Amino acid sequence: MTNAPLSILQADPAGLAVAANMLRVGQLVAFPTETVYGLGADARDDIAVAGIYAAKGRPSFNPLIVHLSSLAMAETLCDFNDDALRLAGAFWPGALTLVLPLKPDSGISKLVTAGLDTLAIRVPDHPVAQALLAGFGGPVAAPSANPSGRVSPTTATHVADGLGHKINGLVDGGPCDVGLESTIISCVGTPMLLRAGGIPAEAIEACLGRPLATSADPETPVAPGQLASHYAPKGSIRLNAITAEPDEVMLGFGSVDAPLNLSPSGDLIEAAARLFDCLHQLDAMGATRIAVSPIPNHGLGVAINDRLQRAAAPRD
């Protein structure tokens, strides 16, 4: 998050070049898509992605949609089956997001996926977004460019009024075509509708030649992050621990002597960026019992605590 003045950039080659360079150095840039303005960051940069959550005041680490310039770029990040290729061919660029298995060497921040092994991706149908993504040459995580819980922005003025000095750049591409958010389809196994949106389910079913699956079981999440214990490492977790017991591995925060520390300086943005990686490291260490330092419950600390509480929840 930044306190620097917001740079308003024109949607011309010079402005887009500046915006692409901002993304390269880990800054936050808002830009128009065909539906709303998105708040973009390099999807491979943990600190930059944590900055999205901080700027928006997003209450939890929900998986973010990654915007790409082309199907070819998408195929470097995810595994496409025949259904996914058919849908991408029919509806990209456009308001369709596909959830697909993430390739192990993708380089995507775990904060983008909320620690899951799938990625939500789309190719937007907007000339300014396309030009910026092509100029940047990489994946851009971009939820709507508004404070969490507020109305989605469809003009640059909406973005500036809502986020002010919390972001670095804003590409003014004029008003967006006001419409629904993207339709989200999981293509992990049988295609499943996760969120209705700008492309009708009937059109998707016509393309596939069969009905989409739906989840009728309330215990089965239809979108990532809904199960209470979904984010759990293999070991059990004890929260708000001041010190570790003899058989525990300490996950510290602040000036705590611990083999793993979310942020020795007590920086919540750094802690957010490191959270999922630390949970994976605890698994790699074979930790069976984990003690976690208290995390301040404000700002990004609310989201960190939400995920740690899910990770510590009782398991079947």
Tens of pLDDT, residues 252-280: 999 999 999 999 999 998 998 888 889 87
For 136, phi and psi rounded to 5 degrees? -70, -40
Residue 227 has pLDDT above 80, yes or no: no
Q: What does the block give as tokens for 162?
A: 């809502």
* Band of pLDDT at residue 224, cut at 50, 70 and 90: very low
Residue 101 has pLDDT above 90, yes or no: yes
Is there a contact between 224 and 62 (Cβ–Cβ < 8 Å)?
yes
* Band of pLDDT at residue 2, cut at 50, 70 and 90: low
> What mean pLDDT comes out for the span 15-26?
98
The three-class DSSP label of residue 149 is coil
pTM for the model: 0.84
pLDDT recorded at residue 81: 97
Closest CA to 139 of 48, 44, 233: 44
pLDDT recorded at residue 152: 81
> What mean pLDDT comes out for the span 175-198?
84
> What mean pLDDT comes out for the span 168-187?
87
Is there a contact between 93 and 124 (Cβ–Cβ < 8 Å)?
yes
Residue 228 has pLDDT above 60, yes or no: no
CA distance 8 to 2: 15
Closest CA to 260 of 243, 242, 281, 241: 281
Strands 260-261 and 249-252: parallel
**Measured CA distances, 166 to 72, 162, 299 (Å):** 33, 9, 13
Is there a contact between 124 and 103 (Cβ–Cβ < 8 Å)?
no
Residue 88 has pLDDT above 90, yes or no: yes
Strands across the sheet containing 260-261: 236-238, 289-292, 249-252, 260-261
pLDDT recorded at residue 220: 41
Chain mean pLDDT for the chain: 89
> What mean pLDDT comes out for the span 4-18?
94
Is there a contact between 89 and 187 (Cβ–Cβ < 8 Å)?
no
CA distance 62 to 230: 12
> What mean pLDDT comes out for the span 164-186?
87
How many C-beta atoms surround the C-beta of residue 314 within 10 A? 8
Q: What does the block give as tokens for 64?
A: 């973010």
Q: In the chain, pLDDT over 70 holds for what percent of residues? A: 91
pLDDT recorded at residue 221: 42
> What mean pLDDT comes out for the span 35-59?
93
